[in-house]
Amino acid sequence: MIVSREDAVGLLSKWATESTPVWVVAFAAGAAVISFIGSITDLRSDGFVIAHQGGHGDAVFRLDGLVGFDYQDIREADQFVQEKLGKKVVSSLHMWAESSNYYISEMVTPMQGSSI
């Protein structure tokens, strides 16, 4: 579902405030540049920082220049996507510019993954 920039920033803010673990995959010119799990530690109007879960450094992502934002709740995805990602990811935010793509996915926490 296409969302506004404001909605995307609101979601990033929620994940930052709640210290939600996120899975980051970033592409530039069609090649995977980075992929890691971490949490959003700083969010500003022009970008955000995700700290690597293992303490191996931070990655800075620019918001200026992005032209599109797409949100998907994995629980509402087709069966194939649910089978492949449903036990790992709750939702995903795809952000893109002319030559780069960011996928920031909300990871399943132990509480979300447990059965009642």
Domains of the chain as residue ranges with CATH = 5-110 (2.30.30.100)
With a pLDDT cut of 70, the percent of the chain lying above it is 92
Sheet holding 47-52, edge to edge: 58-62, 47-52, 31-44, 22-28, 100-107, 89-96, 68-73
pLDDT tens profile 79-113: 887 787 778 899 999 999 988 899 999 998 754 44
pLDDT at 111: 46
Euclidean distance between CA atoms 22 and 108, whole angstroms = 9
Predicted TM-score (pTM) of this structure: 0.85
What's the chain's average pLDDT?
A: 88
